[in-house]
A and B are shown apart, each in its own frame.
Chain A
């Protein structure tokens, strides 16, 4: 189980880093989401992996899972969720204000691009 979890975190992080380095905003958002997933699983695994044990004190139970990483993950999920939502709105705003969806946003009004495209399609 440990190997599988480690591999999963590794793959997600690698994919996240790759997508974050892309030039357009949509892959970047996806990449950040993947990174957030990876770090959530990582935080969870830091409480040591166990199956079938409760995190909250119960009568007659001697083995417990560490409850703290679960609380941390819960907080991290909420924050990542909010941040991603904000980033998507900001990316849309950037798309409409800069006329394209490049992260570096070299300014080119939409009209010119569409004119060129229609010009090419006609000829």
Chain B
């Protein structure tokens, strides 16, 4: 065991990339052997990824940042993978989300509705992990493209007119985003002469005054790109459409996709425009704060106006991203720790809610999840209890984790000059979300049609007209929701751990030194060649 750990641990920053990539290829190779093979390989690989992510996280908690120099090239010259506590935390989130989403897809037979679900799923994980691990700006672009291309395929999985339309908008918008990303990267390279994020952070301190304007433009252009990924106002219009029409497990996995944009803002803008950047320090924060506040209001309104449940959940995802954007604009370790707490909570609850909506959709027959009157569904009490749990957690009511997350964020904002504005927006939008969820909950579970009405309009194809509801895969929902309870019960140790994550993330000089002073592994054969 000790021997195994010694062999594996130096390669921890690269293994979470290799495993899903290899698994994706392998799944493709066994494609004509039937779905059982694909499912087994995919599930085993994802479980392996989860174990690996946990190992990375416990390893990174020891304190040092682990660097992996690809091709043994030293930091600013080659691409490096950087495994610090923030990256490791994101890896754990991705892996747990992937396991539950995949389990749900298999149990509910959603993966066999179209071709190549499993290869796309694994490539999606490859892209996500890559985006969280890379220490190079252009490499971040490449991994963004990988995860986007896989997400296009997953979004369209199962087919249908609504999916195609939502997918078309999503693809076109993201292609424009990629172009802007390249413009920004090109400009930054032209001025700073490097693409390594840590090195850029150092070069920006020695910037000539006349170049500051150009770098500021490039930085804000990058914010536009990451804002598009994170669905920041006014770039959020694609999200409700795309998330509400795709299949449940894909929507659940996509709960982490908006957080990629947020992570990129914390990583890239935090390092480039940190305190050391002189006049450029914090150039993005007023934008992130202002646009985050507007997004939160729009999301709450959208949740109120939603016509069907999945659309409402999509707007609630938007609201959680907006809350995170607001938190990311606040200075200090405390606010970043609060952000991470809320990030864990919102990712899992939103994902679980999307899976729950699938049961509601099945149970209501042809009325699907539209917020209109229909017959009561089978297992209404069980599903209804889950719904109440999710509604309480996601809207931030005590005693679940949403409340504590919001409390932590608001208490870290106390010193901010705009505190009352932030407080008002967060609380009012929270109230609007509670109203929206209460409305849709009573519409689905209480305001039902009477039994003795005409059987011909029962809308289900079974012989007596009652809808069939398979509860297969509900374990995924239970696991995802239990995270919220876990976060409350173990709030103190969790918060302490997240504080250490936040501290390491904000210690930019340590990050830069560790990345740039990393010496490649000595190669004994190199001297022979020379």
The chain A residues found within 8 Å of chain B, CB to CB, are: 20, 25, 28, 32, 35-36, 38-39, 42-43, 45-47, 68-69, 72, 75-76, 79-80, 82-83, 86-87, 90-91, 93-94, 97-98, 103-105, 107
Tell whether A32 pairs with B179 under 8 Å between CB atoms, given A90-B164, A105-B168. Answer: yes
B528 within 8 A of partner (CB): no
* Beta-carbon contact of B171 and A87 below 8 Å: yes
Query: Can you name 27 A-B residue pairings with CB atoms under 8 Å?
Result: A32-B175, A32-B176, A32-B179, A39-B183, A46-B186, A46-B190, A47-B190, A69-B189, A72-B186, A75-B138, A79-B142, A80-B178, A83-B149, A83-B175, A86-B149, A86-B171, A90-B156, A90-B164, A90-B167, A91-B168, A97-B164, A103-B168, A103-B172, A105-B164, A105-B165, A105-B168, A107-B161
Chain B hits for A90, CB < 8 A? 152, 156, 164, 167-168, 171
* Beta-carbon contact of A98 and B161 below 8 Å: yes
The chain B residues found within 8 Å of chain A, CB to CB, are: 138, 142, 145, 149, 152, 156, 161, 164-165, 167-169, 171-172, 175-176, 178-179, 182-183, 185-187, 189-190, 195
Chain B hits for A25, CB < 8 A? 168
Chain B proximity of A52: nearest CB distance (Å): 21
CB-based nearest A residue for B161: A97
CB-based nearest B residue for A38: B179
* Beta-carbon contact of B183 and A42 below 8 Å: yes
* Beta-carbon contact of B179 and A86 below 8 Å: no
Chain B hits for A47, CB < 8 A? 189-190
Report Cα–Cα, A42/B190, bound state, in Å: 10
Taking A46-B187, A83-B149, A86-B149 as known contacts, 14 extra A-B pairs with beta carbons closer than 8 A to each other, sorted by chain A number, are A20-B176, A32-B176, A43-B185, A43-B186, A46-B190, A68-B195, A72-B185, A79-B142, A87-B171, A87-B172, A90-B164, A103-B168, A105-B161, A105-B168
Chain B hits for A46, CB < 8 A? 186-187, 189-190
Chain A hits for B183, CB < 8 A? 39, 42
* Beta-carbon contact of A68 and B189 below 8 Å: yes
Report Cα–Cα, A32/B161, bound state, in Å: 23
Chain B hits for A91, CB < 8 A? 168
* Beta-carbon contact of B179 and A36 below 8 Å: yes
In the complex, the number of residue pairs spanning A and B with C-beta atoms less than 8 Å apart equals 82
Chain B hits for A72, CB < 8 A? 138, 185-186, 189
Chain B proximity of A114: nearest CB distance (Å): 19
Report Cα–Cα, A85/B172, bound state, in Å: 12
Chain A proximity of B448: nearest CB distance (Å): 31
* The 9 residue pairs across chains A and B that have the minimum distance between CB atoms: A46-B190, A43-B186, A46-B186, A39-B182, A35-B179, A105-B165, A94-B164, A97-B161, A79-B145
**Most B CB atoms within 10 A — which of A43, A69, A80?**
A43
Chain A hits for B175, CB < 8 A? 32, 83, 87
* Beta-carbon contact of B186 and A93 below 8 Å: no
Chain B hits for A104, CB < 8 A? 165
Chain A hits for B156, CB < 8 A? 90
Cβ-defined partner of B186 (8 Å) among A39, A83, A97, A107: A39
**Most A CB atoms within 10 A — which of B167, B168, B176, B190?**
B168
Chain A hits for B145, CB < 8 A? 79, 83
Report Cα–Cα, A21/B169, bound state, in Å: 12
Report Cα–Cα, A69/B187, bound state, in Å: 11
* Beta-carbon contact of A98 and B178 below 8 Å: no
Cβ-defined partner of A86 (8 Å) among B152, B161, B164, B165: B152
Chain B proximity of A38: nearest CB distance (Å): 8
Tell whether A82 pairs with B149 under 8 Å between CB atoms, given A46-B186, A69-B189, A107-B161. Answer: yes
* Beta-carbon contact of B182 and A76 below 8 Å: yes
Report Cα–Cα, A54/B237, bound state, in Å: 47
Report Cα–Cα, A43/B169, bound state, in Å: 26
* Beta-carbon contact of A32 and B164 below 8 Å: no
Chain B hits for A38, CB < 8 A? 179
Report Cα–Cα, A34/B149, bound state, in Å: 20
* Beta-carbon contact of B168 and A43 below 8 Å: no
Chain B hits for A36, CB < 8 A? 179
Tell whether A42 pairs with B186 under 8 Å between CB atoms, given A79-B142, A93-B164. Answer: yes
Chain B proximity of A6: nearest CB distance (Å): 13
Report Cα–Cα, A71/B74, bound state, in Å: 18
**Most A CB atoms within 10 A — which of B161, B167, B182, B187?**
B182
Chain A hits for B187, CB < 8 A? 46
* Beta-carbon contact of B172 and A28 below 8 Å: yes
CB-based nearest A residue for B195: A68
Chain A hits for B168, CB < 8 A? 25, 90-91, 94, 103, 105
Chain A hits for B176, CB < 8 A? 20, 32, 35
Report Cα–Cα, A97/B183, bound state, in Å: 34
**Most A CB atoms within 10 A — which of B142, B175, B176, B189?**
B175
